[in-house]
Amino acid sequence: MRLAVDGTGVELRWLDKSDAEALFQLVVANREHLLPWLAFAKTTRQVEDTMRFLEEVQERHEQGLGMHFGIWMGEELIGTLGAIPDRYGYGSYEIGYWIAKAYEGKGIVTRCVIRLLDHLFEEKQVHRAEIRCHADNARSRAIPDRLGFRLEGCLKQASRTSDREYGDQLIFGLLRTEWAAARAHATASAGSELSG
């Protein structure tokens, strides 16, 4: 599956095993950038580690148990974006993302999440989307704030960094019925963030 993100050359493409080398090299190049927030940055040490992850991703795709996209700028892989359904079948998807340090602050993740939410809410008729992030990760938590998600709670020390330190995890939620208004507000107010 491919989802064009807004005519800027950014595209979401389902990850598969053929992306193993590119994804592994992206993790290696951004290891220090990812280490404070994502445990896999420490445990991904060889391309086989990435291949195992992509085999799991492909299995989930085949079973309809999630969507795992690479974020591509032309032919360059620059990050990932995923959406995983809740295990109880209540129509909720949890969204997660990361992007290479060189591409931070350009509005790319925001635009990608908007495109994914359009797909989830309008095409798949998903009831609810959720984003969870480490309470200290200001860049990550800015995205649900920007897109009209509501902070629904804080799970005390439920997040663990690559250094095995515990931290609080914030939960943000957004309903399909709220998306049209939230999207219009985010697009209007984000201005330079979404055009950069």
Q: Tell me, what's the pLDDT at 132?
A: 95
- What's this model's pTM, rounded to 2 decimal places? 0.89
CATH class held by domain 2-195: alpha beta
In the sheet with 76-85, reading across from the earlier edge strand, the strands are 2-4, 10-14, 67-73, 76-85, 92-99, 128-134, 166-175, 150-160
Structure tokens that stand for 188 in this block? 């209007």
CA distance 10 to 109: 10
Our measurement of the distance from residue 27's CA atom to the centroid of its chain's CA atoms, rounded to an integer in Å, reads 15
Pick the more confident residue, 38 or 52: 52
Phi and psi dihedrals of 172, rounded to 5?
-115, 140
Please state whether 156 falls in left (phi above 0), alpha (psi between -120 and 50) or beta: beta
Residue pLDDT, tens place only, 26-41: 999 999 988 888 878 8
DSSP 139: H
Q: Tell me, what's the pLDDT at 194?
A: 45
CA distance 147 to 115: 12
* Residues contacting residue 44 through CB under 8 Å, at least 6 positions apart: 24, 27, 28, 50, 53
Residue pLDDT, tens place only, 116-166: 999 999 999 999 999 999 999 999 999 999 999 999 999 998 877 656 678
CA distance 37 to 121: 28
Query: Where residue 196 falls among pLDDT bands split at 50, 70, 90?
Result: very low
Give domain limits for the chain: 2-195
- What dihedral angle (degrees, nearest 10) is formed by the CA atoms of 136, 138, 144, 146? 150
Q: Tell me, what's the pLDDT at 195?
A: 42
